[in-house]
């Protein structure tokens, strides 16, 4: 079985994370399961995007994909903004050096206190409802600050082939396209500073044609809304949705046709809206392939002819790799033996965790060299939606550590 493509170098038997063998990192983090993130791989992702996308396209980091402060600091320094989804993420982004003017806060259900915190910090609120807007005005009044707001719009179209749809149909996200003009009139009549629009239609898309189509429709929608708004539009955040390969046979997205199509769409867009910047916000694409999750074999068992490697890691550390984070079909993430990369002879095994549930399955029928207790197992493509998307308290085992290399 061949794996989905990955970014890491291999030297002899060792998988390297930014030049350091995983075997050595395991000692450096003091034992136990851990996540390691390759800072050079993240920078490469940024460079690839800058090279392929139009020169004036802004790139933001959607930090819920990986909110480790060191990762946010690394990316904030190279990108044009950070998108946060909670007040704590906002604080981490500010401490990581992102300027509040370039931080935006999206997410349904912002409490009055959340809104106040955002207004106090001077970041942009991506409004998800009329109630949030009124809370922003009240906070601005109480704090003597002008709230900065953008309108998150739930478009009438869907992102085809997205792993997770975030727009189209009835959704809790944003304000329906049809209802936007009324709220825009309210914003225009208030003293709030209007930043622009945010339209995010879906995630984990590996089809360039559907991304291209969604981006073109999104820009058209911004033009239409701007005409209805009678407000200056400083920024149009057109979402992201760029996916990464996980399963065997999946290929990395070819950025070139997406960049070319966006250049054309932006040329048309600029003719109508010359003063509006356009941003793409990405989480998974920037960090997903740059991360690896590493655990250790605790036991090797045979049950009715099948081999189980029981590890000290699993669902409580890496829910997504077990197929339980919103996936419809469980498919293995790429699983390797990071200190036996040169070994050709393999056996078919199931890699499981220590939890008392059959859901705790990191690899089903994967090909690995013959491993024993004490050996390491690594799950690739683990830099996004890993640790913080996992129920670490479940069964009260120790949490994994994290290291940025």
Residues binding ligand PLP (CB under 6 A):
62, 64-65, 83, 106, 200, 203-204, 239-241, 281-285, 384
Q: Going along 139-229, which residue ranges are E strands?
A: 148-154, 164-165, 175-176, 193-198, 202-203
Cβ proximity to ligand PLP, 323 vs 369, nearer residue: 323
Q: Are strands 306-311 and 291-303 parallel, antiparallel or unpaired?
A: antiparallel
Cβ proximity to ligand PLP, 14 vs 281, nearer residue: 281
Cβ proximity to ligand PLP, 200 vs 269, nearer residue: 200
**Minimum CB–partner distance for residue 241 and ligand PLP (Å):** 6
Give the SS3 label for residue 88. helix
Residue 29 to residue 399: CA distance in whole angstroms? 13
Residue 251 to residue 249: CA distance in whole angstroms? 6
Cβ proximity to ligand PLP, 282 vs 405, nearer residue: 282
Cβ proximity to ligand PLP, 308 vs 325, nearer residue: 325
Q: 317 — alpha (psi -120 to 50), left (phi > 0) or beta? A: alpha
**Minimum CB–partner distance for residue 327 and ligand PLP (Å):** 14
**Minimum CB–partner distance for residue 204 and ligand PLP (Å):** 6
**Minimum CB–partner distance for residue 397 and ligand PLP (Å):** 27
Assigned token pair, 77? 């320094």
DSSP letter, residue 242:
B
Cβ proximity to ligand PLP, 202 vs 353, nearer residue: 202
**Minimum CB–partner distance for residue 265 and ligand PLP (Å):** 19
**Minimum CB–partner distance for residue 113 and ligand PLP (Å):** 21
Give the residue nearest to ligand PLP (CB): 283
Quote the Cα angle for 321-324-326, to 5°. Answer: 110
Contact status, residue 362 vs residue 313, Cβ threshold 8 Å: yes
DSSP letter, residue 145:
-
Contact status, residue 61 vs residue 284, Cβ threshold 8 Å: no
């Amino acid at each position: 079985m061949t794996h989905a493509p990955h970014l890491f170098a291999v030297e002899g038997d060792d998988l390297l994370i930014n030049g350091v063998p995983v075997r050595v990192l395991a000692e450096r983090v003091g034992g136990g399961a851990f996540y390691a993130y390759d800072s050079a791989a993240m920078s490469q992702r940024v460079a690839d995007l800058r090279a392929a996308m139009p020169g004036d396209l802004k790139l933001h980091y959607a930090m819920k994909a990986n909110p480790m402060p060191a990762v946010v600091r690394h990316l904030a320094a190279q990108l044009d903004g950070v998108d946060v989804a909670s007040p704590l993420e906002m604080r981490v982004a500010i401490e990581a050096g992102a300027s509040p003017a370039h931080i935006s806060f999206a997410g349904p259900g912002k409490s009055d206190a959340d809104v106040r915190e955002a207004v106090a910090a001077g970041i942009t609120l991506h409004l998800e409802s009329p109630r949030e807007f009124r809370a922003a005005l009240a906070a601005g009044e109480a704090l003597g600050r002008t709230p900065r707001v953008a309108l998150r719009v739930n478009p009438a179209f869907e992102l085809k082939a997205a792993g997770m749809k975030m727009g189209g149909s009835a959704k809790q996200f944003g304000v329906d396209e049809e209802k936007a003009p009324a709220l825009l009139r309210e914003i225009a009549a208030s003293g709030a500073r209007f930043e622009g629009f945010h339209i995010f239609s879906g995630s984990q898309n590996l089809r360039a044609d559907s991304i291209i189509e969604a981006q073109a429709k999104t820009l058209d929608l911004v033009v239409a809304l701007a005409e209805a708004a009678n407000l200056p539009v400083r920024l149009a955040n057109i979402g992201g949705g760029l996916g990464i390969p996980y399963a065997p046979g999946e290929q990395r997205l070819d950025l070139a046709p997406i960049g070319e199509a966006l250049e054309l769409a932006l040329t048309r867009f600029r003719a109508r809206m010359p003063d509006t910047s356009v941003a793409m916000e990405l989480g998974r694409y920037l960090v997903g392939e740059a991360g690896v999750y590493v655990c250790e074999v605790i036991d090797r068992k045979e049950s009715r002819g099948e081999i189980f490697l029981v590890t000290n890691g699993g669902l409580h550390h890496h829910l997504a790799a077990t197929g339980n984070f919103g996936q419809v079909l469980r498919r293995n993430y790429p699983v390797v033996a990071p200190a036996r990369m040169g070994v050709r002879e393999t056996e078919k095994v199931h890699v499981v965790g220590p939890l008392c549930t059959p859901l705790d399955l990191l690899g089903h029928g994967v090909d690995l060299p013959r491993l024993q207790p004490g050996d390491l197992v690594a799950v690739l493509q683990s830099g996004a939606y890993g640790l913080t998307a996992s129920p670490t308290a479940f069964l009260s085992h120790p949490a994994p550590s994290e290291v940025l290399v």
